[in-house]
Chains A and B, each alone.
Chain A
């Protein structure tokens, strides 16, 4: 029974690395909502689930207690259902939670409340103290962890055009959190609005990608910090379609970057990109093989059948050995929103596949995906049928190593 989840999710033999559709378990319901309760899976970096020592944790925001609050539910080894939910935020309205795994079935979680961003270590059996990070006003926090006890957080801090991305190293001792002095990620003088950071920790350092408005259109920038050193100059991540008439706007926009690292040298980035603006946002991606110092050329992640409709809510993850990157999103090519994903194997993106259980009647949207250390792909998404929303989960039945 101890390994029932693994038996359900992965058949103990590695999947041959190719770009065929993955097989998934039947969906499990994480939580349901009743009338006037609105579940949200939104966060900077789209990190809504994590896996630690066979425990799957899903985090979200909803208003079931009369105001937006942060909730978590766990899937424990050997159990057929998720645990009941646990509210982990303070009594004030809270938004946009994120989660990253720690050792020993613990998780680092973060969210936004009271114009501040907050951290906490939680597990199915215990919750640590809630710790504020940075200064007010702050928003859109994201967190990342890596082997060896590494942890970090990035967020947007400041008012309007003075909102800039900050980073802090985090030290965790059991359930206690110590936050190092925050660093301004971009020290250049021409800063404008910076928001929605994504973060990955790698062997050579850490990399942050964010939305940046300094060039007159929203673009995606990235910056790399070698171990023990400050962040270096930013780089442009999204290639850009300039306006045909520079007097009339600056050009194509991009938004909501997400990052996935393997903890070593490979980092995969994705974002929504409007360079093909007639059909709205597409999902574009880029891969770094030097720990995030520099990314390769932009790649369109979705296939031609998705080009006629906009893509939304892109999430990205990498297999433990970085052989496979997966991007998931939702779009309306089948009329109602469904969740699709594409796999990057040997530098090529596959055709788009519907995520089983996250397509068909109703509106399935807002996916968040993560590979665990065993190479099992886990996914959560929103499923809205006739106005009632539930939070669904599934995982791949094979693993990649």
Chain B
């Protein structure tokens, strides 16, 4: 009985002393943290994806509070939460937030197995980074998708997958939060963050091959050959050709789709546009199969994931 009492007293005394020490320390060495940081962190999605450019949501919250103190939230954006979350954060901090448009990852390669024949077999480590270091890869195109799925492995939101039929990655518009992880993972800089566009409608050049026209064509039937027809067609000055490859500036593009029709290799894709009004004969024609995307016929709804 005595032993028990001593034990209880000793432990109790130790506990009391420790509590006192801890209390004193917590008061004396307390680090002041702006309570707003915690509040902002609470508003953020908490995925810690790094899409904002900071190590995690806490980092962005810290930067947002500092930004608010400095008077501007410019350049700070949570791509996952998007406008909605940023609006809430801005309210919390008493700031106005600039209207950032929603973005989406776009794969700019149309080198499907059909368009771009294999000329060699690669039996090394199956990552794009390793294959890229070894040479042009299994096809003759030294710029196109290698198809090992480094982008899919980098995606934390299950939004990008390799389609085994085409060998190309496909982005799920609904799931993509434009964090840019796939953009960084791609050793060939094929993936780009582009404006999502109204109702997801967007027009882009689905090729990054900088080889001269004949060379590019030999490697891939759907390559951009830098002919410049789209540049002439564009009334809004949105298209430029640099290094034998055409590029559409998504800030200038008005989605008129005129360039899509003139492209001789069907390298320009327009996605999520409504199907053309059914003409009598067109309605009867079968829908082109999914491996031949982005042709003169706009892709129908079920094919939008192709791109």
Q: Do A and B come from one complex?
A: no
